A and B are shown apart, each in its own frame.
Chain A
Amino acid sequence: MAQAADHPAYLQHHFTDAEQQRESSKLGMWLFLTTEILLFGGLFCAYAIYRAWFPEMFHEVHKALNVTMGAVNTVVLITSSVTVALAIRSIQVNKRGQSVAYLAATILLAGVFLVIKYFEYSHKFHEGTLPGNFYFYPDFTIGNPHIFFGIYFAMTGLHGLHVVIGMIVLTWLLIRTRRGDFSSEYYTPVEMGGLYWHLVDLIWIYLFPLLYLIG
């Protein structure tokens, strides 16, 4: 093509230039992230209602959660946020191999998070610290412990689903980065995937103290 120099392959025809395309993508991504915040917001609201109604129950029942596992998972997610930020930086400076390595590390850390979560969940399934009617753990004398676990499973479950989706997105980005689709000229999908992953971290930053560290 004659105009290949001023119209690169990644630039879609309805954008004036690469910068406008990039800024538009980012605007769309941030709008999507606000919908995510409102999606989780419903659960945070439910949490606020029931914690305000049953403060003693929350205080007592949260002790069934394993703080060490929650804290380790926090460290894992923060580290994965660093690696995904470095993956974006690497592609910004055209170090494709490095970017692939950082993406792989992020996916690995996401896997570690899910494995720890699996151990926490299976322990609760075994003990019966479960939502609503499924609850059968005998050792809490305080009323309504099943409500805490309903909220716990809804919040961590939706968050865990986001971790799984994040892993799929990151894997897709890893494949495309390896294939050479991205460079310092064009890396918008990597940046958007990174934003999504940071949001997953951001939500966990609130979930951890709210569920595991009720003082």
Chain B
Amino acid sequence: MSAHSDNQPHITPVSTYLGIGLALLFLTFVTVWVAQFDLGEFNLIVAMLVATLKGTLVALIFMHLYYDNKLYATIFVVSLGFLALFIVFTLFDTMRRGDIYPETGRQIKERSAIYDNLKPTQPAEGSESQH
């Protein structure tokens, strides 16, 4: 590990931290401002792009991934890759259930109709988890 890094840990200038902080505040403003407009499909995409830009700044500068041994950045990015795999594969299942077995493809909505009517006497425990 030590072969890749300097002997002295990197000391980031105060101006860099303040500049990144201001950039993050600006991007927060952007994401709130842009949410007023209905961009259809792009609402989520724009929101996630801005959040990812903010997250990248935090990880690279505040968390020092830009200056440190690249092993840490690799571990971080790999974990995000596995998270994406986890979510995408789960959605392959949950979004396609009805395609094969119509009976078990029912969404939770149909089982939890009791919530729509808000009958306090109905036992709701467990009824939403079954499929």
Contact = CB atoms under 8 A, between A and B. Distances in A.
Interface of A: 19-20, 22-23, 26-27, 30-31, 33-34, 37-38, 41, 44-45, 48-49, 52-54, 67, 71, 74-75, 78-79, 81-82, 85-86, 89, 92-93, 132-133, 135-136, 138, 143-144, 146-147, 194-195, 198-199, 201-202, 205-206, 208-210, 213-215
> Interface residues of A: mostly helix, strand, loop or mixed?
helix
Interface string B1-26: 11001010101101001101100110
A135 B115 CA distance: 8
User: Can you list the 4 inter-chain pairs with the closest CB atoms, starting with the nearest?
Assistant: A215-B43, A34-B79, A82-B21, A209-B47
A213 B94 CA distance: 24
B40 to A, nearest CB: 8
Contacts of B125: 133
A194 B68 CA distance: 15
B14 A209 contact: no
A35 to B, nearest CB: 8
A81 B58 contact: yes
B101 interface: no
Interface string B70-106: 0110011011101100110011001100000000000
